[in-house]
Homo-oligomer: A and B are copies of this chain.
């Protein structure tokens, strides 16, 4: 097969030089990712953040090639089959993402995790590809003995994170989120089949963790981004609620009709097929349609997403005061002439939290020259060791203007 290069503003060029990789990319299930925003509604705050899951997957595939090349140059044995499988696995790691990615996961699929769907879809494609994805699936499930391959797909230092931090900071223009992915990759080593980092890579790892934290608070959980995504969630909640009485006016003729109004929570092959047909376009279209719906709650929410007239969201360390919260809902009910119950769509509260590093789940190990291994959170002269595992929690109230 001929070699193909794809221009990427982040890495320059991404090279495809294998028939299986080519077939995966050409597959409709993969192409669907072109219609799913990588950062959901973050583009309402960062106008450049319109990049897609497809683009991210391609980028992660590129980094996988770099990482495996680095490890091989250090003498780690990786066969051509393993390399191909790891690349296929990372290319498909997000294929189970639904419309607006994380933002709608809970609402649309009753909490079925996208990794579970990715696996199901990979298995489906594997049938089509006559088992060519066997090894990729084994790696994806962490069933393959060379654990570092899995860790590159899904772990504290996987190429997924390296790409999304790099790419999201590139497209948002939040330059402070830039990580030194190239240096981190140069610092990777394998020891006892596990991925580790050379001693002199400590500062890069520290930088990586700090940058990730910054991206969480400055981009992924930015108060206006969160407000938009919560508004989206409430749009779906409202549509579902309304569907009991007037489903017809809500239907758009696309897969949203099924997942919003009929899905029973069980993912069989038929459902999987339907799932592989929905993407951001269907919801964007629904929002446009519903912005003219006669239900004022639904149409107001939709119009405000369309026209970027977002609710105000305020973070605070303390719990949201119930009395104040109720008062706010009453004010809104009065102001918009709606019931107190309907006002819960215009005023709501919640909390978010972020932990930079959870060593008990999956650790970053530093391999010293003398063979010692230390968890990054236990290294004495690292700035962050004391605080790295602390969880930061923020409460918020989100409300339409009164």
Interface residues of chain A, those whose CB is within 8 Å of chain B, are 3, 5-10, 12-13, 17, 26, 28, 31, 34-35, 43, 46-48, 50-52, 54-55, 58, 73-74, 170-176, 178-180, 182-183, 186, 203-204, 206-207, 210-211, 213-214, 217-218, 252-254, 277, 281-282, 284-285, 288-289, 306-309, 317, 356, 380-381, 383-388, 390, 392, 394
Contacts and interface: CB of A to CB of B under 8 A. Distances in A.
A13 B381 contact: no
Oligomeric state, in copies = 4
B55 A48 contact: yes
Nearest to A216: B203
A73 B173 contact: no
8 contacts: A9-B48, A9-B172, A17-B73, A31-B306, A31-B308, A35-B284, A47-B58, A254-B289
Contacts of A47: 6, 8, 34, 52, 54-55, 58
Instruction: Return the 10 tightest CB-CB contacts between A and B, nearest first.
Output: A9-B173, A7-B173, A285-B285, A176-B180, A47-B55, A28-B307, A9-B48, A281-B284, A176-B207, A50-B50
Highest count of chain B CB atoms <10 Å: which of A6, A50, A254, A306: A50
A359 to B, nearest CB: 16
Contacts of A385: 387
Given A9-B173, A288-B254, A307-B28, A384 B381 contact: no
B172 A7 contact: yes
Given A210-B210, A381-B392, A73 B3 contact: yes
A5 B74 CA distance: 13
Contacts of A5: 186
Contacts of A48: 7-10, 51, 55
Contacts of A381: 317, 392, 394
Contacts of A308: 26, 31, 34
Nearest to A44: B34
Nearest to A381: B392
Contacts of A394: 381
Given A176-B203, A386-B386, 16 more contacts: A9-B171, A12-B173, A12-B175, A26-B308, A28-B306, A34-B47, A47-B55, A50-B52, A176-B207, A178-B178, A207-B210, A252-B285, A281-B281, A281-B285, A383-B392, A387-B387
Given A8-B48, A218-B203, A383-B356, A175 B172 contact: no
A308 B4 CA distance: 15
Contacts of A73: 3, 17
A194 to B, nearest CB: 21
Nearest to A204: B176
A50 B39 CA distance: 13
Contacts of A253: 252-253, 289
A284 B183 CA distance: 32
Given A9-B48, A285-B281, A386-B386, A34 B43 contact: yes
Contacts of A317: 380-381
A254 B285 contact: yes
A9 B170 contact: yes
A359 B392 CA distance: 24
A244 B136 CA distance: 50
A103 to B, nearest CB: 17
A172 B388 CA distance: 28
A383 B213 contact: yes
Given A31-B307, A210-B206, A308-B31, A176 B183 contact: yes
A204 B210 CA distance: 11
Nearest to A37: B50
Contacts of A213: 383
